[in-house]
Amino acid sequence: MKIGFIGMGIMGKPMALNLVKAGYDVTVSNRNMAKCEPLVAAGAKSGSYIEVAESCDVVITMLPNGPQVKSVMLGENGVAAHMKAGSTFIDMSSINPVDSKALCEGVAPYGVEMLDAPVSGGEPKAIDGTLSIMVGGKQDVFDKYKEMLSAMGSSVVRCGDVGAGNTTKLANQIIVACNIQALAEALTLAQKAGVDPNLVFDAIRGGLAGSTVMNAKAPMMIAGNDKPGFKIDLHIKDLNNALDCAHAVGAPVPMTASVQEILQWMHNHEGGNKDHSAIAQYYEYLSGIQIGR
């Protein structure tokens, strides 16, 4: 199986590297081809988007949002037009499910199948290959590529037809964002009340309030570490997609709207490239304290 991987960003680069480590024949591509050099050094090949399309059995994209995926795949001289009939397109970007369905319709005339397979876990889990991968598409196509996807994730679950993967990802991003907001509020309360946030974290992490989000983000908030594993601007993008989808289907999402306003405040105060745990800095601004310091 020859795999093409387009998008060597924070997530795409380690994901492609795990495919190389698993022994797959991987050709990588990126708008800035210099970002492909570490993958080539690890054993991958590199090529243009068109070279990837013409030479590979499956093309994976990991790009910022729907417009970028549409441009690469279906734009002028797009990848889909150069793919072999019977090949498969797997979009692992986090985009609006409506865009996923449009992409599926767009590649179908070329005889290309599609899966939407967004991921959760951020850069650390992309590096160690333990991402959660949420997949939409036909059962037989999913079955064909599940083992390959498992080289990048510890959980690979088909959630329904094309679009279901990104719908699941939007649900995931709502839960993560609201958890981070609640965590920041709680630790701010603890410190303002004179209780050490480190001790609060230690006391509650094993109870009902404990979560993967808390384990990953509480130490970052307490240390003031805002190095991005997942950038605020990317979470803004995901929640914009969630709000658009919710409005389209009539789902009430007031908590999502609330945390989106906090993220937007962070963006407007030079926080867009910080980790989403930096939501805590919004509460620090309001309260006049720094959590854990």
Catalytic amino acids? 169
> What angle, rounded to 10 degrees, do the helices at 254-268 and 164-192 form?
70
Are the C-beta atoms of 264 and 270 separated by less than 8 Å?
Answer: no
DSSP 22-65: TT-EEEEE-SSGGGGHHHHHHT-EE--HHHHHHH-SEEEE--SS
Beta-carbon-side half-sphere exposure of residue 51 (alpha carbons within 13 Å): 9
Q: Using DSSP, state whether 2 is helix, strand or coil.
A: strand
At position 189, the amino acid (one-letter code) is: L
Quote the CA–CA distance of 207 and 124 in Å, as a whole number: 24
Summary count for the chain: helices (H), strands (E): 13, 9
Token readout for 228 is 């991005």
The answer to whether 129 and 105 have CB atoms below 8 angstroms apart is no
Alpha-carbon gap, residue 15 to 135, rounded angstroms: 16
User: Phi, psi at residue 57, to the nearest 5°?
Assistant: -85, -25
Determine contact, residues 25/2, Cβ cutoff 8 Å.
yes
- Measured distance CA(268)–CA(15) in Å, rounded: 31
- Report the SS3 class of residue 28: strand
End-to-end Cα distance, the chain: 52
